[in-house]
Chains A and B, each alone.
Chain A
C-alpha cells in the first residue's frame, strides 16, 4: 500500500515567513511522529501524536513550532516567523503501534526547508 507522504518536498522561505508542512501517514496508523534532521546528523524528535492527541511535544525547539492532527490522520507542522536555524529536513513517521509497544517507524521522504 501507499507509504507516508509529505508535502511539499522542498520549501524555500524568507526569514520571518510562516510555513506549513503536511504529512499523510499510512492509513490506520495510530502513532505519528515529527523529526528534524540537520545535514549530516541523525533525526531528532520533535513531537508525537497518538490518534488526535499530542502526547509529547518536548522536542519542539521553540513556541514558534506548532503541530496538529485534528482528525487523527493527516498532520501539519507549522513554523511561525522562520529563522535560518530552522533550515533542515523535516521527517514525518507513522506506526500502527501505540506508544507503549516498541516498534519500527515508517518514514516519509521529508520536506527540505531552506530559510533565506
Chain B
C-alpha cells in the first residue's frame, strides 16, 4: 500500500534557526513527489515537484531534496512568516488518479 509519513509532527524554531522536515514514502513506482504549504483556514499551496532521486528545487529560504525513500524540506534562516503546516504528497504508478498526502509538519517560527 502506498504510504507517506512525515516527521516531526510539529517543530518549533527560533527565527534564523535552520532545520529540516522529513517525508518518508513507500510507493510502487514514484511518478512525482510534491511539497505544499497550508496556512490555517486555507487550502494547500503548491511549493515544489520532484520527479527522481537526486533532484533538488529551491525557492527563497526553502530547498527540497529527494532520495529513493525520502524527501527533505530544508528551511534556511526561517522567519515568522514561514510558520505553517508543510504537507508532502506523492503520485504513484499504481495510485491511479490519487495524490496521497502525509499528515504534515506544523512549523512554528518565533521572532
- What separation, in Å, do the CA atoms of A64 and B21 have in the docked complex? 38
Chain B residues within CB distance 8 Å of chain A:
4, 31-32, 34, 36, 41-46, 49, 51, 87, 89, 91, 96-104
Q: Can you report 13 A-B residue pairs in the complex whose CB atoms are below 8 A from each other?
A: A35-B101, A42-B101, A44-B101, A48-B98, A55-B97, A56-B98, A91-B43, A99-B97, A102-B31, A107-B36, A108-B43, A109-B42, A110-B43
A15 at interface, CB cutoff 8 A: no
Q: Mark A43-57, 1 if CB is under 8 A from B, else 0.
A: 111001010000110
B residues less than 8 Å from A91 (CB atoms): 43-44
Contact assessment for B103 and A99 in the assembled complex, using a CB-CB cutoff below 8 Å: no
Who on chain A is nearest to B6 by CB? A42
From B32, B36, B43, B104, A103 is in contact (CB under 8 Å) with B32
- What separation, in Å, do the CA atoms of A24 and B28 have in the docked complex? 33
Docked complex: A96-116 residues within 8 A CB-CB of B: 99, 102-110
Who on chain B is nearest to A42 by CB? B101
Quick one: which of B42, B49, B51, B99 has the most chain A CB within 10 A? B99
> Are A109 and B46 CB-contacts (below 8 A) given A42-B87, A43-B101, A102-B32?
no
The 10 A-B pairs at the shortest CB distance, nearest first, are namely A107-B43, A42-B101, A102-B32, A48-B97, A104-B46, A102-B31, A45-B98, A99-B97, A102-B91, A56-B97
A74 at interface, CB cutoff 8 A: no
